[in-house]
Amino acid sequence: MVEEEGFRRYVAHIILWIGIAIVAFPVYIAFVASTQDNALIANGQMSLLPGGHFFEVYYQTIFVGTSGSTREPVGNMMLNSLVMALLIAVGKIAISIISAYAIVYFRFPFRMPIFWIIFITLMLPVEVRIYPTYKIVADLHMLDSYAGLSLPLIASATATLLFRQFFMTVPDELLEASRIDGAGPLRFFWDTLLPLSRTNMAALFVILFILGWNQYLWPLLITTRDDMQTIQVGIRKMITTTDALTEWPIVMATAVLAMLPPVFVVVVMQKLFVRGLVETEK
């Protein structure tokens, strides 16, 4: 850090604090709202200090659920989201690392056309191909199931490209040394390539887990049963109520809970994540 003289440093810090306040204030409000009595919020009398209903509200949110639109406990929604996000992240990494391995290290007919087909799917996110994808999942009787939630989202051109780029930086001599050391293609993949890709996989896992966790449109379409609902869909359903007050403390508590797993993943894997993005030495 460059040493700044006193006054300018204070200005810099004040600006930074303002920035933090702008980002953190809504989160704070959500937390405060989740600890208050619903009547107070509905009256517009919500205070800016945490209220006294923390345990009560969070207990109800996690284990009981709202009394209105969706009665599913948020604990179960979180479990659904977690399973989906994990399946998507792990599945994407597994599939893309294998396809990247095939594309980089093997000579087979139509290698480049296949690579380009994978590349082109970058332009076809779920939203674009949503009708055919829905039709297929429905025909396979995978609606309202974890397979239906995760499988269509698992194939990933981005991750395949990323691993391909990484594999191309691995010196050819490593493969040749492995061949002389008597390691076949599977051995080389398992003993050398996978350990070398560890940081890349961690970085991808963070990104993909958050991506999976935040899915909204796809789970909304294919889940109809309340007990298969993900938390992102659940929040939306809680807000819309007919003939009743929205239970804002519970909605806000759900929002706070929805935030925790991604934050946890980022905090835990931050070191690996940063190394995966910047590491050049192999």
- The footprint of other proteins (CB under 8 A) covers 171, 173-174, 176-177, 179-183, 187, 191-192, 195-196, 198, 281-282
Taking CA 255 as the corner, what is the angle to CA 249 and CA 258, rounded to the nearest 5 degrees?
140
Distance CA 34, CA 19 (A): 24
CB of 170 to other proteins, least distance (A): 9
Nearer to other proteins, 176 or 227 (CB): 176
| Shortest spacing between CB 79 and other proteins, in angstroms | 35
Measured over the CA atoms of residue 87, residue 88, residue 89 and residue 90, the dihedral's sign is positive
**C-alpha span between 23 and 28 (Å, rounded):** 9
C-beta of 127 vs 173, nearer to other proteins: 173
Q: Are 230 and 84 in contact (CB under 8 A)?
A: yes
Nearer to other proteins, 74 or 201 (CB): 201
- Least Cβ distance, residue 171 to other proteins (angstroms): 6
Among the listed residues 146, 19, 48, 153, the one whose alpha carbon sits nearest the alpha carbon of residue 92: 153
> Cα–Cα distances in Å, from 187 out to 102, 167, 195, 196, 199?
14, 16, 12, 13, 20
Measure the CA–CA gap between 93 and 201, rounded to whole angstroms. Answer: 7
Task: Give the orientation angle of helix 74-105 with respect to helix 248-278, to 10 degrees.
Answer: 20
Nearer to other proteins, 135 or 187 (CB): 187
Amino acid at 27: V
> Would you give the end-to-end CA distance of the chain in angstroms?
29
Shortest Å distance, C-beta 193 to other proteins: 10
Min dist CB 275 to other proteins, Å, is 14
Q: By C-beta, is 158 or 192 nearer to other proteins?
A: 192
| Shortest CB 144 distance to other proteins, Å | 43
Taking the least distance from each CB to other proteins, the nearer of 39 and 186 is: 186
